[in-house]
Structures are given as structure tokens and as C-alpha cells.
Chains A and B, each alone.
Chain A
Amino acid sequence: MIKRMFWGMLILSILVFFVWDVGIAFQDNGQEKVVLELKLPKPLFVGTPKNIRSPNLERITGKKRGPFYVPPGTEMLSLNKPVTGSDTAPVIGELEFVTDGEKSGEEGYFVELGPMVQWVQIDLEDTYSLSAILIWHYHSQARVYRDVIVQVSEDPDFITDVKTIFNNDHDNSAGLGIGKDKEYIETNDGRLIDPRGVKARYMRFFSRGNTSNEMNHYVEVEVYGTPANE
């Protein structure tokens, strides 16, 4: 008797489950889906925002950069090395500022190039095995520079043997290919790029404006490495 009841209940449960499922499936298939209407809140007006003109406000910094390891004998190669650029008549400053060793974010220490894609090029005057590159575009204001691309080559015209070691042009707006590196906010820490020992004499640094204006700026570029024959 108990056995029969058990089997009866089991069959009944299966039937109920089946009918239920078929019903739901029919309901899903028999009617058109409707868009879920979202009730979205309106923006809150909080008055005119603060006017910011100070060149040295609190910066948006992430975690402190950890130690960076380089081969023994690594030295700074870029100090006072010749600099050329796509904008031969900078709006503010001189191209020499890029390698003059002055990294202050204040007025008078940066070179301003015109809008659109611009580049500066450093001639290390010999071929080196590169260990580290540090770039400061403009660090007295929270900004992001667009399409930061770093290329190295043995060719001063960058026609042959060009290697790209950093590229955050994620939408190919500079036309040099899509880069996988991330955009970053400028800080006084500068951007450290690992060239992984690539050998080169010439370095070209590209950018295409920034989030504050259309101009391109460089406070300093530092290149570290060892002689290529070591």
C-alpha cells in the first residue's frame, strides 16, 4: 500500500512538474517580450562648481610605484641630449627642455607643442640597451594625454627598424596602430615604461592633446640604459 502510494505520488509530481514547465514555456513562446522600462533618476543640480585655477592642487594618485629593477651599470642617457620635434616652433618653451634635467611642474619648465599628433625625438648619440624610460608631460594638473606612443629605432627618420615599446592609442586615432597600454593620469611620479633591454639610438615620443586642452606638453623625458655592447 505504501509502495503504491509512493509510486503514485512520484508519478503525480512528475506530471505536475511537466504541466507547469510546459505552461511556462508556452507563456514564454506565446507572447512577445517586452522591454523592461527603467525609471532613471534625474541629475541633481548642486550649483556652480568650484573654479579651479591653482596649478598645484591635490593630485589623483594611485598606489605608490614599487621598486623597478634594472641591470647593473645602468645610467641616465638622455640628459642634455639633442631633441628635435614635429613642431619646430613650440608655442611655449624650447625643445631642449625635454632633456634639461628640470622636472618642476611650474611655469617655465615645459615645452608646449601645437594641437593634433605631435612628437619629440631624442638622439642618444650612440646605441644603448634601454632599461627604463620616464616621461612627464605636465604634472601640475590632473590630465590624461591622448595617444601616448613611444617608438625606438636606429634610423633617425623612423622609416626602418621601428619598434613600438608603449602605445595607449586604443582607437587608432594617431594612425600608428591600436595600442594595448592603458591611458593614465599625469602625476609628479611620471610614467615609467619598461623597454625590456631593446637596443636603440633614437627615441620618438608621440601624443595628441590632453583632457584639458588640445596642446601637447613635455616637462622632461629620462632614458636609462647601458652601452649596447656590454
Chain B
Amino acid sequence: MNKKPAFYGLFLLAVCAAILFRAVRLDLRPMHHDEANQAVKFGDLLERGEYRYDPIEHHGPTLYYFSLPFAWIGSGKSFAALDEVTLRLVPALLGVGIVLLLLLLKDGFSRSAIVFSGIFVAVSPLMVFYSRFYIQETLLVFFLLGAIAASWRYHVDRTWGWAAATGLFIGLMYATKETCFIAFGALFVGLLLARIFTKESIGEKPPISHAFILLGSAFLVAFLLFSSFFQNPKGIVDSVLSFQSYFGKAGEVGFHSYPWPYYLKMLTFSRYGNGPVWSEALILVLAIVGCVAAFYPRFQKDSSPLFMRFIFFFTLLATAVYSLIPYKTPWNMLPFFIGIILLAGNGAAFLFERCKYLVLRSAVTLILCAGIFHLGIQSHAANFRYYADSRNPYVYAHTSTDFLNLVQRVEDIARYHPDRKDMLIKVITHPDEAWPLPWYLRGFTRVGYWQEAEKAGALKDIPVVISSIDKTAELSQTHQGEFFGLRPEVLLNVHIRKDLWEKFLESRR
């Protein structure tokens, strides 16, 4: 596999697989609560050019600014015309970009290790699922791998261009998500430990000017994005202040608090109810082999012990820190899982190259092919069958497919109202039961949101009232009530004024 044609052929296959898994049917899954929230925040930037960094919620600005060109091409400046496919193309394409970035790891990893890593990134259910998800995580991983790759290229070539590229990726990481500091810490300590445990020379001392270039480009990109391109200079100060909020959130015992083995257990074996078994154990097992390979002195062909050990220590530290933080959501696995995948690629290459005999090599090839095929089958199931099903481990507090019936009902009723899309809609829900309604009702011009029915004014003449099921019970005299699923265990009530309901019903008789 270290021969060039085989390498490029297989790598191209990995890229194609990554595109196919990420770019097809991006509209299939209903928008998650968090995706909808990011989309509405992006809508302000798209329509009014307004963006202000919020140090409490929403994370950094890269997702929004990277979405702009996609939206301009897809829907112009209209938020109402924007769709899920346009938004999700941003993480999807950067998800494919993660595979391409692996090419920059040449000399650090063998060609075989790069190909295997590319294949694992392309087909891993976890990587694919969140590459189709309009949140910051895939962007963070892309920039993280970009920072690793650019700094490795700098280590090899010592040019100011790679120093600037490293700074650029670091700045983009900072402007993506506040948790980047976990990765920064793991990268820094990982590098120190790799230096301690490796005799390899790091070459000539880099000029001080390159350090300034690196830091300057990192600061410049972070400043431009956080300050909304000079519109809000306070944004850069807020980006520092935000750590107080996120540090508190990470440690709090609440809804998202899980024990330390949560992530590793999910990756090894998951089964919910009568659903299928999910496992990325192949990648974990190969990653363990990759760890051994990193310290195996005779496995140094086309690869650098310093780089392999750096990846090992980075992954170990990042996995440990993310696992020890009580606050956990499945997408938070991505920044350390990319390290696990790199180690797995290294492990697969090690096994492949250590097995010199034809029988052994054939057996390893067969096992690896079967394992990769199994990962692909799971990816297909996770993204095209169980995409919003709570039996999928990566589906986390996801919007039910039935919610789309609610949206369809409101659209249907608007056709019978003289104001059409200007029809007044009042939403009276608990705070965590309002989303993703603002995204799905973006085409309606008069939608209001309240948490208490008493504060929403008179309701008996309102065409459509959407409420949590324990609110607005008195509407049964004037409205037809219907239930729709928002998430597992969470239902919403839609109240449709009876004259509109009768008109709608006429079409069904």
C-alpha cells in the first residue's frame, strides 16, 4: 500500500466514501434543537449583517461566517428561503476536508497509516453523523487536524507559510468553540511528553520571527471573527470572559452529567431497547495497536516516532479530560476521537506491514475489510434509517420525525387563513420546548413566543396556538386540539381555531 498508485487509488476511494456518506439526503433528519438555534442566530447575520458574540451561549462565530457563502449561493439573503441542506453542507464539506487534511501528515505517518485513517474518518458512524449536523463540532475537528498537520509540515519544512497556517488554524479553533482549550492543553502537553519520550532531533531552532507570524495570524483571525470584522471590538474581550461561563457549565451536575466511561462505553458497545447493536470497537482496538506501534522501534518506515508519540499523548490526554468532565454530549467525543482514528490508522498499517506472510496478510486484510464494511453498514443505518431514532446512540435529545407533521399542519392551516403567512401564531411553551419551532416557522411573519399563557394575551381568536401540553387547556371550546411529538416523551399541543379547522376539514371529506 506504500506504493504511490495504490495509495492514491485507495485514498481517492476514501474521499468518495466520505462525500457519499456526508452529502446525500442532508434534509432527511429533522433539525435538532441546537441546529435550529444556530440556524436562527445565523439568520441575523445573513439578513441584517448582524453578529454579536454571546459569551453565554451559541459558541464562536466560525460556523456563521463559513455559512455565509453557502447561503448566498443557496438562498441569497433571505432567511426564509434558507434550507437544511445549505446549512448542513458546511460541516459536511469540512468533514470531507478532514480526510483531505490527512495528506499533510506525510512523513509523520506512513502512507498506509494515512490511507487507513482516511477510510476510518470516511466511514465512522460518529464522524459521519456529526458531519451532517449544523453545529460547531466538525469545524473544530477540521481546524484541530489542520493545526496538527500545518505544525507538522512546519516541523518538516520550517517555512513561514506553515507557521502562518498553524496560527490560522489555531485562531479558527479559538473562534469555533470554547472547548478548544482542552485540545490546546492536550496538544501542548502531548508535544512535551513526545519530546521527552523520543530521541529524535527536532532539527534546527526555529527563528523567532516565525513564532511572531504564528501568534500574529492566530490573533488576527480570532480578532476579525470575534469582533464581527471590526463591528464589535468588545467581542474579543467577551471571548475571554466566556470561559467563566463554560468552565462552570463543564463541572455542573445536571441534565448532561454522565460518569467517566460514558464515551468509551458508547464507542465500544451500545444497544437501546430492541434497536441494533452499535460499535466502533474496531477503531478502538486498532488504536490500541497504534499506541503500541508508536513505541515499537522497528516500525519507523516512512513515519516519525516523534509524530506518532505526539498523537498518542495528545489522544490519551484529550480522551481523559473529556471523560472526566461531568458534562457530556455525544458530539463532544469528536476532538479526541480524531486522535483515536489516527492511532487506529497507524495500528492498521502496523498490522498490515508486520504480517509478512501471505496467509497472515490476507487474514488481516480480510478482517480489516470486514470491519470497515461493518462500520459503513452502521453509518448507513445511523444516517439514513435511525437518523432521528433514540435507538441510535448519536441521536441525542433529537427532534421527533412527528414534529414535521406539526409544521405541515400549520402550513396547511395557513392556506385557509386570509393572511396566509402573516397569520398570527402564538407559541406558549416551557423554555426547552420552543425549539426548533423558530427555524421551522421562519417563513411566518407573525410568530410570538411566551412561557406563560397569562402573558400571551387573549387566545380565543388566535388562529394557531402551539403549546406545551400542560398549558392553554381552556382553548378546547374555541380550538381543535392536536398532539404532536417534539422529542421522546415530549409532546406539543397545536390548537387550531375551529373555523379554520372546519375549512381545512372540508378538503379532507
Q: Which of B431, B483, B504, B508 contacts A46 (CB 8 A)?
A: B431
**Residue of A with least CB distance to B470:** A60
Q: Check B255–A212 contact: CB distance below 8 A.
A: no
Q: Check B485–A107 contact: CB distance below 8 A.
A: no
Query: Which residues of chain A from 126 to 147 have a CB within 8 Å of any chain B CB?
Result: 141-144
Q: Check B37–A49 contact: CB distance below 8 A.
A: no
We find that the number of chain A residues with CB closer than 8 angstroms to chain B is: 37
B57 within 8 A of A: yes
Q: Check A173–B400 contact: CB distance below 8 A.
A: no
Q: Check B58–A52 contact: CB distance below 8 A.
A: no
- Using Cβ atoms and an 8 Å threshold, which residues of chain A touch B446? 38, 40
**What's the Cα separation between A41 and B485 when bound, in Å?**
24
Q: Check A172–B488 contact: CB distance below 8 A.
A: no
Chain B positions 371 through 390: 1 when the CB is less than 8 Å from some CB of chain A, otherwise 0: 00000000000000000011
**What's the Cα separation between A143 and B489 when bound, in Å?**
7
Q: Check A171–B488 contact: CB distance below 8 A.
A: no
Q: Check A43–B427 contact: CB distance below 8 A.
A: yes
We find that the number of chain B residues with CB closer than 8 angstroms to chain A is: 50
**Residue of A with least CB distance to B483:** A144
Chain B positions 474 through 491: 1 when the CB is less than 8 Å from some CB of chain A, otherwise 0: 000000111111011111
**What's the Cα separation between A142 and B487 when bound, in Å?**
10
- Using Cβ atoms and an 8 Å threshold, which residues of chain A touch B453? none
Q: Check B274–A52 contact: CB distance below 8 A.
A: no
Knowing A171-B508, A211-B483, the reply to whether A50 touches B402 (Cβ < 8 A) is: no
B273 within 8 A of A: yes
**What's the Cα separation between A142 and B451 when bound, in Å?**
22
B438 to chain A, nearest CB (A): 5
- Using Cβ atoms and an 8 Å threshold, which residues of chain B touch A210? 402, 485
Q: Check B397–A48 contact: CB distance below 8 A.
A: yes
Q: Which of A41, A44, A53 contacts B488 (CB 8 A)?
A: A53
A156 to chain B, nearest CB (A): 29
Q: Check A214–B401 contact: CB distance below 8 A.
A: yes
Q: Check A44–B431 contact: CB distance below 8 A.
A: yes
Q: Which of A45, A52, A171, A209 contacts B489 (CB 8 A)?
A: A52
**What's the Cα separation between A41 and B483 when bound, in Å?**
24
A53 to chain B, nearest CB (A): 6
Q: Check B397–A51 contact: CB distance below 8 A.
A: yes
A interface majority secondary structure:
loop
B450 within 8 A of A: yes
Chain A positions 33 through 71: 1 when the CB is less than 8 Å from some CB of chain B, otherwise 0: 000001011111111111111010100100000000000
A213 within 8 A of B: yes
Q: Check A211–B480 contact: CB distance below 8 A.
A: no
A93 to chain B, nearest CB (A): 9
Q: Which of B255, B272, B469, B491 contacts A49 (CB 8 A)?
A: B255
Chain B positions 247 through 290: 1 when the CB is less than 8 Å from some CB of chain A, otherwise 0: 00000000110000000000000001110000000000000000
A76 within 8 A of B: no
**What's the Cα separation between A85 and B54 when bound, in Å?**
55
- Using Cβ atoms and an 8 Å threshold, which residues of chain A touch B160? none
Knowing A60-B469, A211-B402, A211-B491, the reply to whether A52 touches B390 (Cβ < 8 A) is: yes
Q: Which of A40, A178, A185 contacts B447 (CB 8 A)?
A: A40
Q: Which of A51, A143, A178, A214 contacts B509 (CB 8 A)?
A: A178
B505 within 8 A of A: yes
A92 within 8 A of B: yes
- Using Cβ atoms and an 8 Å threshold, which residues of chain B touch A201? none
**Residue of B with least CB distance to A183:** B483
Chain A positions 81 through 101: 1 when the CB is less than 8 Å from some CB of chain B, otherwise 0: 000000000001000000000
Q: Check B489–A48 contact: CB distance below 8 A.
A: no
A158 to chain B, nearest CB (A): 22
**What's the Cα separation between A173 and B408 when bound, in Å?**
14
B196 to chain A, nearest CB (A): 39
Knowing A46-B432, A55-B273, the reply to whether A142 touches B491 (Cβ < 8 A) is: yes
Q: Check B491–A107 contact: CB distance below 8 A.
A: no
B111 within 8 A of A: no
**Residue of A with least CB distance to B258:** A51
Q: Check A211–B484 contact: CB distance below 8 A.
A: yes
Knowing A92-B274, A213-B400, the reply to whether A45 touches B483 (Cβ < 8 A) is: no
Top 7 closest pairs, chain A to chain B, by CB = A40-B448, A211-B485, A50-B255, A43-B434, A144-B483, A43-B449, A46-B431
Q: Please give the residue numbers on chain A whose beta carbons come within 8 Å of chain B beta carbons, in ascending order.
A: 38, 40-53, 55, 57, 60, 92, 107, 141-144, 170-173, 178, 183, 185, 209-214
Q: Please give the residue numbers on chain B whose beta carbons come within 8 Å of chain A beta carbons, in ascending order.
A: 33-34, 37, 57-58, 255-256, 272-274, 329, 389-390, 396-397, 400-402, 424, 426-427, 431-435, 437-438, 446-451, 469, 480-485, 487-491, 504-505, 508-509
A/B interface sample: 21 pairs, CB < 8 A: A40-B448, A42-B449, A44-B449, A45-B58, A45-B435, A46-B431, A46-B432, A48-B255, A51-B329, A51-B397, A52-B488, A52-B489, A57-B489, A60-B491, A107-B274, A144-B485, A144-B491, A183-B481, A211-B484, A211-B491, A213-B402
